[in-house]
Amino acid sequence: MKEDLRKTVLTGIGIALFTVLTLCLQVPVFQNYYLCLGYIAMAAYCYILGALCGTIVGSFGVIVYCLLTSGLRGMPGWALGNIAIGICLGLVSKRIKDLPNVLLGAAAWTVTAVISTALGILGVKSLVDSLIRSQPFLVRAGMNIYAFIADAAVLILAYPLCRKLDGYFREKQQ
């Protein structure tokens, strides 16, 4: 019971962290797109607490962010896309965090980040956006290419931080 409450509180903190990082630290990279640094929080939660917590942080973090800034515009596809990303990263994290070969873990994380972001942003988000806006899927996927590149880059670059934080928390538990 105590562990469930702890995870619930930590997940709520993660949602807030995703939202704050996305709102406050906007690093422009493409025309009208910026790095979504909230993905650092999502990645850390996937890596440290697992797929469920990381997925909830990513999906609900997007919902809160969108409600605070632009309402429902773009939110359904982005939130559902983050479910795909969170599940993939969380499941792979479980398998790679204890690998003795750090480079193998980094390679697996990188491949998973690219594939899951392609699935989540270019696939799920583009499909939902095309259905909501009555536009062809390929048009929406083309519009989401910048988001895919930027989000995958943030997730890839978050890996060393995830490892460091996981080591810190493991040390604290002993």
Which pLDDT band holds residue 70 (cuts at 50, 70, 90)?
A: confident
Residue-level pLDDT at 169: 85
Which pLDDT band holds residue 71 (cuts at 50, 70, 90)?
A: confident
What's the whole-number average pLDDT of the chain?
90
* Segment (H or E) for 147: helix 145-173
Q: What is the pLDDT of residues 12-34, one digit of tens each?
A: 999 999 999 988 877 777 676 77
Distance, first Cα to last Cα, the chain: 20
- The answer, yes or no, to whether residue 35 has pLDDT greater than 90, is no
- CATH code, 89: 1.10.1760.20
Residue 172: closest CA among 4, 1, 5, 6: 6
How far is CA 151 from its chain centroid? 8
Q: Does pTM surpass 0.85?
A: yes
Q: What is the pLDDT of residues 42-56, one digit of tens each?
A: 999 999 999 999 999
Residue 84: closest CA among 53, 109, 51, 111: 51
Number of structural domains, the chain? 1
Q: Which two tokens stand for residue 146?
A: 């910048």
User: Which residues, 6 or more positions from 106, have their beta carbon under 8 angstroms from its beta carbon?
Assistant: 159
Please answer whether residues 94 and 66 qualify as being in contact, where contact means their C-beta atoms are separated by less than 8 angstroms.
Answer: no
For residue 70, the enclosing domain spans 2-173
